[in-house]
Structure 1
Amino acid sequence: MFSFWNIISGRTFYTVVLSLMVLTGLGGLVGNGLMLWLLGFRVKRNPFSLYVLHLAGADFLFLGCQTVFTILTFTQGPQQLYLVVAFLWFAAGLGLLVALSLEQCLAALFPKWSRRRPKHMSACTCVLVWALSLPLVLVPSQACGLLNGGSSWLACFRYHVVSVICLFLLFSILCVSSFILLVRVQCCSQSSQKPPFYCYVLQMVPLFFFCGLPFLTYWTLKNTMGSLMWFFSFFLSIAELLACVNCSTKPIIYFCNAKHRQDLQRAWARGGKSRLAEALEMIA
């Protein structure tokens, strides 16, 4: 009879986790691909749908890379480059989620500001998040030798600490803004009408806390405690699986929180593309 440690340290454990990762990734690719198609081609864009479109794109890229890298890891062994590329899209998704949460918080605190917001603010914010994600991940990866194999310990430590501080600052802003949004809407708002994206944000934030934070934590410990992380190598597999769950569950949240679910279901059943587009526009 195998002990628990023999199970989690053996190939059986990794085979099961990697298989679940591939299945979760494939399901998430279908869901996020559907979101990209609907929001990109079938629905009239608005500030909310633009954030969701970019967030679905980041999740799609993460799940696509993670699924391919999982198969390559199982057949050829792990590579440091896999983690860097996958985490790049993960960090972009975190930044987009923070931007969405912040905008909803500001809209709840300052209703007049939300009506006077710049027309292209969402588009500019999304472009800025994509642009800043590249140096935030690639610069410390290059300094720590994850891209070319050579590294300087001092340079690695400096760049990695800056990257980690920025990432956890984003996570802190996400938690604080979602908490303020919750308190503002539930306790301080006299109006019965809630912000249109309220449910989306407050369900995606706990999802990230439980399923996305482990992957973020592993990235933090990867270069600062590399000599000890080999002992807990199974933690990376669990963190990657939870990150796949985080990205694959968001399309379900998008559809399940539709205020006009019945219209959406009727339109889908009739196969009427125009009715489906109208129903989806009513969600935002």
Structure 2
Amino acid sequence: MLSFWSVLSGRTLYVALFSLTVLIGLGGLVGNGLLLWLLGFRVKRSPFSVYILHLAGADFLFLGCQIVFAVLTFTRGSQPFYAVVLFLWFTAGLGLLVVLSLEQCLTVLFSTWSHRRPQHTSACACALAWALSLPLVLVPSSACGLLTGGGSWLTCFQYHAVGTVCLFLLFSVLCVSGLILLVRVQCCSQSGPPFYYFSLQMVPLFFFCGLPFLVYWALINTMTFIVTFFSNFLFVVEFLACVNSTTKALVYFCDAGHRRDLRRAWARGGKSRFSEALEMTA
């Protein structure tokens, strides 16, 4: 009887988390998709908007894959490469948050940085974040057999340990840069632009909602017995990761300064940047 109720409660929790994950993921897809359209075609590009545009793209890909994989897992069962694809977009989002926070730290610490920075710094930093996410995820996954099957445990441990250390170093850099922004902007009574406060809000959001998914990835290949013991851990961390990706767009839209800029872009009406580009090429 006890085992029956434990199975029933586990199934109930799984169904509840599955439903919440799909609902929140759909909301996040709408929010990030709207953000991609507005920043991509309606708003004039700025160094900050380039970061947010790429970050919305990473979150959109993560949420889209999460919904599809959640439905496939619910109906057909899980596959190893599901976690690889999800964590690839998750890592890209983490890298984009890091480069965004680092640039804000440079702007706060060195007042001349915003005037002397190279023109395409934001685009190059985003491209670097996307490029580095590939080896950090795909190389350990291949060594551990998540993509090809098989693989030596020792080789898996070595590659996975290096990748995990690099990822936690990125998380540490995000925390330190967030702390620097907090001290300089809040404690020193400096009134910064709205995107300073966006960066500050992303650090605690990632700590509570994104870090569990990072911990799960650190355990999935080398300590599978722990993950198996906590069988519902995966459902919880995927749900929290969806909350992390969805809330970023919500925080951006709720900020008064960003909302005012978007309203101005919408009120301008007329031709969007996309239609203007089409006419220029015609």
Q: Aligned letter for 2:193?
A: P
Q: Confirm or deny: 8 A CA contact 1:92 1:133 kept in the other structure.
A: yes
SS in 1 for 2:221: helix
In the alignment, the residues of structure 2 paired with residue 12 and residue 125 of structure 1 have an alpha-carbon distance, to the nearest angstrom, of 43
Q: Confirm or deny: 8 A CA contact 2:42 2:265 kept in the other structure.
A: no
| Residue matched to 2:220 | 222
What's the CA shift for 1:154?
Answer: 1.2
In the alignment, the residues of structure 1 paired with residue 5 and residue 117 of structure 2 have an alpha-carbon distance, to the nearest angstrom, of 55
What's the CA shift for 1:3?
Answer: 9.0
Q: Confirm or deny: 8 A CA contact 1:24 1:244 kept in the other structure.
A: yes
| Residue matched to 2:207 | 209
In the alignment, structure 1 residue 187 sits paired with structure 2 residue 183: no
Q: Confirm or deny: 8 A CA contact 1:215 1:243 kept in the other structure.
A: yes
| Residue matched to 1:76 | 76
Q: 1:107-130 deviations in whole A, cap 9, x for unaligned?
A: 100011221111001100111111
What's the CA shift for 1:150?
Answer: 0.8
In the alignment, the residues of structure 2 paired with residue 267 and residue 125 of structure 1 have an alpha-carbon distance, to the nearest angstrom, of 26
Q: Confirm or deny: 8 A CA contact 1:108 1:195 kept in the other structure.
A: no
Q: 1:31-63 deviations in whole A, cap 9, x for unaligned?
A: 000000000011111110000000000000000
| Residue matched to 1:245 | 243
What's the CA shift for 1:15?
Answer: 1.0
In the alignment, the residues of structure 1 paired with residue 272 and residue 10 of structure 2 have an alpha-carbon distance, to the nearest angstrom, of 48
RMSD of aligned Cα (Å): 2.4
Q: Aligned letter for 1:173?
A: V
| Residue matched to 2:33 | 33
| Residue matched to 1:254 | 252
| Residue matched to 1:155 | 155
In the alignment, structure 1 residue 97 sits paired with structure 2 residue 93: no
In the alignment, the residues of structure 1 paired with residue 145 and residue 176 of structure 2 have an alpha-carbon distance, to the nearest angstrom, of 34
In the alignment, structure 1 residue 22 sits paired with structure 2 residue 17: no
In the alignment, the residues of structure 1 paired with residue 258 and residue 15 of structure 2 have an alpha-carbon distance, to the nearest angstrom, of 41
In the alignment, structure 1 residue 85 sits paired with structure 2 residue 85: yes
In the alignment, the residues of structure 2 paired with residue 3 and residue 97 of structure 1 have an alpha-carbon distance, to the nearest angstrom, of 44
For residues 113-192 of structure 1, what are the structure 2 equivalents within 5 Å? 113-188=113-188, 191=190
Q: Identity of aligned pairs, percent?
A: 70
In the alignment, the residues of structure 1 paired with residue 253 and residue 232 of structure 2 have an alpha-carbon distance, to the nearest angstrom, of 33
TM-score (norm 2): 0.90
TM-score (norm 1): 0.90
- The alpha-carbon distance between structure 1 residues 83 and 197, as it changes in their structure 2 partners (threshold 3 A), is same
In the alignment, the residues of structure 2 paired with residue 258 and residue 4 of structure 1 have an alpha-carbon distance, to the nearest angstrom, of 51
What's the CA shift for 1:188?
Answer: 2.9
In the alignment, the residues of structure 1 paired with residue 270 and residue 3 of structure 2 have an alpha-carbon distance, to the nearest angstrom, of 58
Gapped regions of structure 1 (runs ≥ 5): 278-284
Q: 1:244-277 deviations in whole A, cap 9, x for unaligned?
A: 0000111111111132646756986xx7636999
In the alignment, the residues of structure 2 paired with residue 273 and residue 7 of structure 1 have an alpha-carbon distance, to the nearest angstrom, of 56
Q: Confirm or deny: 8 A CA contact 1:211 1:246 kept in the other structure.
A: yes
| Residue matched to 1:273 | 269
Q: 1:196-219 deviations in whole A, cap 9, x for unaligned?
A: 411101111111110001000100
- The alpha-carbon distance between structure 1 residues 260 and 63, as it changes in their structure 2 partners (threshold 3 A), is closer
**When the two structures are aligned, how many residues end up with a matched partner?**
273
Q: Confirm or deny: 8 A CA contact 1:28 1:248 kept in the other structure.
A: yes
For residues 2-21 of structure 1, what are the structure 2 equivalents within 5 Å? 6=6, 10-21=10-21
In the alignment, structure 1 residue 65 sits paired with structure 2 residue 65: yes
In the alignment, the residues of structure 2 paired with residue 149 and residue 260 of structure 1 have an alpha-carbon distance, to the nearest angstrom, of 47
Q: Aligned letter for 1:222?
A: I
- The alpha-carbon distance between structure 1 residues 129 and 263, as it changes in their structure 2 partners (threshold 3 A), is closer
Gapped regions of structure 2 (runs ≥ 5): 274-282
